[in-house]
Chains A and B, each alone.
Chain A
Amino acid sequence: MNRKTAGLYIHVPFCRRKCPYCDFFSIPELTLLPAWLQAVCREAKYYQGKFKCFNTVYFGGGTPSLLSPSNLDFLLENLRRIFLITPEAEITLEMNPEDVSREKLRKLQGLGINRISLGLQSLDDEALTFLGRRHTAFQAEKALGQALEAGFSSVSVDLIYGLPGQKKQRWEKVLSRVAASRPHHVSCYLLTIKEGTFFARKILNGQPPLFWEKVQRDLFLFTSRWWKNQGYLHYEVSNFAVSSKHRCAHNLKYWQRQPYLGLGPSAHSFSQNKRWWNVSSVKEYCRLVSSGFHPVAERERLEPAQEKLETLFLGLRTADGVSLALFSNLPEDKKTLLEKQGLVKTRDDRLFCTEQGFLFTDALPLWLTGDFPLKVVAKGR
C-alpha cells in the first residue's frame, strides 16, 4: 500500500506527572509499561504488509525517555523485524532533561536513535516552575550540552513562550542561551490557553484577551525574526531548523499529508484518504490488542473536499506553502489583497505565508476559500 515514504509514530503514554499546559494523552502510571510494550509489538504485526517501509520513526509521548534503553531496544528490534526501516531513517526520541545522561545517550545511539527532541520548555527557572516542570534551567542546559556533544545527527529543543507577564527581554535571554549551543532544530510554541482549563482561569483572570493577543503576536514576530537572524529557517509556524536537511522529516509528513502509522493508545494513522486513531485508554488498548482486537477508536474516510481543506490548512503552516493549482478558482483580488496585507506571497506557482501570515494560519484557509470575508486593513494595527 504505502511502500516508500511512510512515517512510524509510537505513542508512549506514560509520564511521571501531568504538566498543566499539556493536552497530549498520558497517564502517571508505570505499572502498565510491560503490557504496553507487548501490545505495541502485537499491534505492529497487524500492519505487517499494509505498511512495509518507513524512513522516519518517532517516539513521542507522554515521556518516551521513561523507557529504558533495553525497552527501546526491544521495541526497535521487533519493529525492524516486522517492517523495513530504512538504514538512513530519521529515528527520534523525545526526552525530558532530567532523563538525560552521557551513558544513556551513548546507549541510545547504539540502538540507532539519531535524533533527540529535548523537552527543555525554557531556560528560565521562574518559567519552568510556572509550567510545572521537574527540571531546572541548569539541568536543562546541561542536558542540551550533553546531547549535542554525543554527536546525534540532529538535536532539537522544545520551548514554550508567551507566558503571562513574560517580558521580551526575558524571553530573548532564553533564546540567546539556547542559540549559544547551536541546536540543529528548535520548536517554539506560544502558550495556548484553552478556554475552561485551569490555566485559563489562573492566567486570563480578568485580563482583557485582546491585550494578551497583542503580547503574543509581538512575541511571535520577535521570535521568528530572532531565529532568522541566527541563520535558522522558519519552516513551520512553530519550527525552526539550521538547514533544510535538519527539518524534522517525520513531522513534515503530517503537514505534507504523507502516510503515517501510529502505534500505541490514542495514536493517529493516515494513509491515502483514510485516517484512524486508537482508543486513548492504556488499559483498554492493552486489553483489546492482547485479545486479538483492533484498538481503533474511530476511523474516517475523507471526501475530496475534506482532503483539499486539509492540504490547504496543513500546507499553509509550512514555509513551502501550497500549490496554486489547489485553488481552482482563487479570486485574483483575494490573493492580491492578502499579498498587499503582507500575509502571503506567491512564487513558482506556490502560495505561502509570511511571518505575519503565520499568525493567521487558522483563519487563512477560510479567507482563501472565500468562506470568510476579507478586507483591506491598515498595517500595524
Chain B
Amino acid sequence: MASEHIRNFSIIAHIDHGKSTLADRLIQQVGLVSARDFREQLLDTMEIERERGITIKSQTVNLPYRTADGHLLELNLIDTPGHVDFSYEVSRALACCEGVLLVIDASQGVQAQTLACLYRAMEHDLAIIPVINKIDLPTANIERTKEQIEQELALESGRALLCSAKETIGINEIFQAIIQRIPPPSGSPDKPLTALIFDAQHDPFRGVIVSVRVFDGEVRAGDEIMLMSTGKVHLVEEVGIFRLKRESRPVLSSGSVGYIIAGLKEVSETRIGDTITQAHQPAPVPLPGFREMKPVVFCSLYPVSSEDYPALADALAKYVLNDAAFVYQKESSAALGQGFRCGFLGLLHLEVVQERLQREYNQSIILTVPSVRYRFLLQDGSSVLVDNPSHYPDPAKIKQVEEPYVRLTVFTPERYLGAVIKLCLERRAVELKHNFLRPGQREIFCQLPLAEVIFDFHDRLKSITQGYGSFDYELSDSRLAEVVKLDVLVNGERVDALSIIVHRQNAYRRAVKICEKLKQEIPRHQFPVVIQAAIGSRVIARSHIPAFRKDVTAKCYGGDVTRKRKLLEKQKEGKKKMKMVGSVMIPQKAFVAAMKIEE
C-alpha cells in the first residue's frame, strides 16, 4: 500500500485512563471482530495483564479503514506498555509512529504519566491528539480537564476530542482526526532497507516474530536481512501484518508496520530498537535511539522445594524466550540451595515475572529482597559492581560506594503535599522542588536513590494519598551512598538469602521490622529460636520465638485416629515447603514476608 494511505499511531495515557478500552473500540469499529467474539481489552493477551488492567507486552494491530468516499486506509495501532519500568520499550514504539492519541480521564484529569507520555511524544515530534475519555462518568469534569490541557500540557483544548470508549461515544471523530491530523509516513521504498524493531515475541512453531516499522526500502520473504547491532544475517521466511492474527503479505515497504519471521530462535537474539537492513545492500547508518536494555533491579529466585530446581531452570529457559529484558544466571545459597540471580527492568517487571512463573509454569518460588546495582570503589583503586548482598566486598577494603539515582515526578492533590514530601525525604530525596499546577494540585520533582523507589514506594505513595498520588521516574545518575550489609541470623546462623544492602540511616528500622516479621512467620519449635539482625558482628535488632511447652491432644479415640494421622501427614508435607537453617524450619512465606515490609 502506498504510504499516503498509511497512518501509524499509538495511544498513550496515564494508567487506568482507558487506553486499552479505546484500542478495543477502534478494533471493533473497523469490523475486525464481531461483538459476539469480543473479549474486553483484546490487546492485553496475557492473563496477568487482563487481571491487573495494565499492558505489559505491547501488541500491534493493523486496522483497515474505509473512508466515506471509499478510500481504503491502513491504520497501524501500536500499543505501548503502560508502566514506568518499560519506558524504553515505549520510546521505541513511539519512534514507529507519526502521531499519538493522548488519552485523559475526564474525572481524574492530567496525571503524572499523562505529562511523561506527552513529553515522550514531543521528543519524537509526533502529532498529538488529546482525547478526553470517560465523559459518560457522573464525576467527569470536561471543562476542568480542558483547562488542564491548556495550562499544564500547553495544548489547544479546542482540538481535544470527547469520547467514552466504554459507551462507544465519539469513536468516529477519533478516526477522522487520525486520518486528518496525523501525517502519513515519509520515506522511500527505493532507498536501502531500514526497519526498526519495536517488539519481539516467541511463537512455539515459528520461532521469533519480530515486530517492525519499515522506514525506507522493502522487505520480502527470501531476502537476506542483517541485524545492524550484531551484524548477524538471517533469511526471511515470511513477512506480514498483524490483524488479530498474523496475515502474511508478499512485501512490507516503507511506512508499513508488520512482522518478519526469519528463523530466530530466542527473543534475546533480537534487540528492541535495533535496525534491520538488507544484507547485500545495507543502509549506511542504523536508525537512531538504539540502547541495550539494562536490568536495574535484581533479586534471586529459588524453588521452594530443592527437588524442583530442574523444573524452575526449565521454566526460566522457556520464559526468557519471550522476555528479552529479563536476564538470569545460576547461583547457590547456603540457606536456599540452588537458584538463580535475576535482573529486571523494575519492580513491576519483577512481579510480572514472578507471577507468570507461578501461574503459567506452575512453579513455587521464593524471592529474595530486590536490590539495585551498587558500584564499590575499593582502596586499591579498583571498582566492582554489586547487585547481590552475598557479593558484598570486605568492608575494610571499601573506599566509597555509588548507587543509582532516579529523577522522580510525583503528582498529588495539595492536601497530601506534606505527607508526600515527608515520604520523599524519608526516602533520601534531594533537590526537591514543587510546582503549583492548578488549584489543589501539586507536582513534586526530586532526585531519589532507585533503591528507595523499588522498596514499596508505590504502595506507600498510594496509601498516604488515598490513591490520588501518581509518580513517574527515569534513571538519572549515580551518587555516593553510605550503605551497609544487614545480615539476618537465626539461632546464630546467617541466612544468606535474607541479607540486604541498605542505607545506613535505614538499617535500624529495617532490622527491627525484619525481626518482627520473622517472629510472626517462623513456627514454634521444640527449642527457643532467636532471630537477630546484624551489621558485621554488631547485632542491632533481635526477636525471640519461645519453645512450645506442651503439644498434646487430650483425647484420641477411635474416631480421632484418621484426623490425627492426616494432621501429622500434613505437617510432614508442610515441612517440605520449609527451608532448614541449622535446625530451624523457615517457611517460604517468611521469605516473602521479609521482602514485603510495610512501614
Contacts and interface: CB of A to CB of B under 8 A. Distances in A.
Contacts of B572: 366, 371
A216 B550 contact: yes
A213 B547 CA distance: 11
A199 B517 CA distance: 29
Contact of A373 (B525, B552, B557, B569): B525
A275 B527 contact: no
A189 B555 contact: yes
- Label chain A's interface by main secondary structure: mixed
Nearest to B527: A375
A372 B565 CA distance: 15
B491 to A, nearest CB: 9
Contacts of A107: none
A309 B553 contact: no
A277 B556 CA distance: 16
A17 B311 CA distance: 56
Residue of B547, B550, B564, B575 most packed against chain A (CB within 10 A): B550
Given A216-B550, A237-B554, A362-B553, A372 B575 contact: yes
Interface string B131-160: 000000000000000000000000000000
B585 interface: yes
Given A313-B565, A366-B572, A371-B572, A262 B552 contact: no
- The contact size tier of chain A is 35 or more
A210 B552 contact: no
A330 interface: no
Contact of A381 (B547, B555, B569): B547
B467 interface: no
A373 B582 CA distance: 9
Nearest to A261: B558
Contact of B550 (A217, A260, A309): A217
Given A268-B558, A375-B526, A366 B550 contact: no
A270 B575 contact: no
Contacts of A217: 549-550
Given A237-B556, A254-B558, A277-B559, A377 B550 contact: no
B550 A262 contact: no
Given A267-B559, A373-B585, A313 B564 contact: yes
Contacts of A361: 551-553
B174 interface: no
A98 interface: no
B583 A375 contact: yes
B571 interface: yes
A220 interface: yes
Contact of B559 (A190, A237, A268, A317): A268
19 contacts: A189-B554, A192-B555, A269-B558, A270-B561, A306-B565, A309-B565, A309-B568, A358-B552, A359-B550, A359-B551, A362-B551, A363-B526, A366-B568, A372-B585, A373-B525, A373-B526, A373-B583, A373-B584, A375-B526
Given A300-B562, A309-B568, A377-B528, 6 more contacts: A189-B555, A217-B549, A251-B557, A266-B559, A314-B556, A362-B568
